[in-house]
């Protein structure tokens, strides 16, 4: 009988623990996802509401910037990268994680992360832009996205600065340390 009682107790505590972990996990996962959306250097689609969290970079989707600019006029800073690009990864790790860089970009721009060889289709300037020759099985370099051609990007990383009417104002090509990027941002 005692063994049954201990077994019942163990099962009850396990169920209680699993329930509390699952409900806590949901809360934690939601918080973690929110934090990841704020701090990640990968593109995340945000709704058209404008809320700067003050932490990390607020990355937006290329498809969202037109609606955002209608709500609050800001320039757009497009980080054009590829998955195989070493300097792009260094920018993500060393430059975009810098608190001063994050603050400067969030205050002045809508930041967009754009994979120049990705497969996503974006709605931009009243047109659908895609990468019809993208090969998902290909490792390394892939075909260029139509938007990369529109932006006339030839090297990675490239930061493309667009005005509120989506005209190209400036391009910053190559890896930039936080100090060098901050100096560039002050001129934009």
The 3-state secondary structure of the chain, one letter per residue = CHHHHHHHHHHHHHHHHHHHHHHHHHHHHHHHHHHHHHHCCCCCCCCCCCCCCCCCCCEECHHHHHHHHHHCCCEEEEEEECCCCHHHHHHHHHHCCCHHHHHHHHHHEEEEEEECCCCCCEEECCEEECCCCCCCCCCCCCCCCHHHHHCCCCCCCEEEEECCCCCEEEEEECCCCHHHHHHHHHCC
Angle at the Cα of 176 (from 154 to 116), degrees rounded to 5?
Answer: 30
- From first to last of its 188 residues, the chain has per-residue pLDDT tens of 444 444 444 444 444 333 333 333 333 333 333 333 333 334 444 433 444 444 689 899 888 888 899 899 999 999 999 999 999 999 999 999 999 999 999 999 999 999 999 999 988 888 899 998 988 888 889 889 999 999 999 999 999 999 999 999 999 999 999 999 999 999 88
Structure pTM? Answer: 0.70
Asked whether 72 and 64 are in contact (CB, 8 A), the reply is: no
């Amino acid at each position: 009988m005692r063994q049954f009682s201990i077994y019942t107790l163990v099962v009850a505590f396990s169920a209680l623990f699993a329930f509390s972990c699952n409900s806590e996990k949901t809360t934690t996962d939601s918080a973690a996802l929110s934090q990841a959306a704020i701090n990640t250097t990968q593109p995340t689609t945000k709704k058209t509401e404008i809320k700067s969290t003050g932490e990390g970079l607020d990355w937006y989707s290329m498809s969202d910037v037109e609606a955002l600019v209608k709500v609050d006029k800001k320039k757009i800073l497009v980080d054009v990268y590829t998955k195989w690009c070493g300097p792009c990864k260094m920018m993500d790790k060393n430059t975009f994680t810098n608190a001063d860089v994050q603050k400067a970009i969030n205050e002045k721009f809508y930041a967009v992360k754009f994979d120049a060889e990705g497969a996503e289709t974006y709605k931009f300037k009243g047109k659908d832009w895609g990468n019809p020759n993208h090969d998902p099985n290909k490792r390394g370099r892939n075909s260029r996205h139509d938007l990369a051609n529109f932006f006339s990007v030839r090297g990675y990383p490239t930061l493309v600065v667009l005005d509120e009417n989506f005209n190209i104002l400036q391009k910053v090509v190559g890896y930039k340390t936080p100090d060098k990027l901050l100096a560039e941002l002050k001129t934009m």
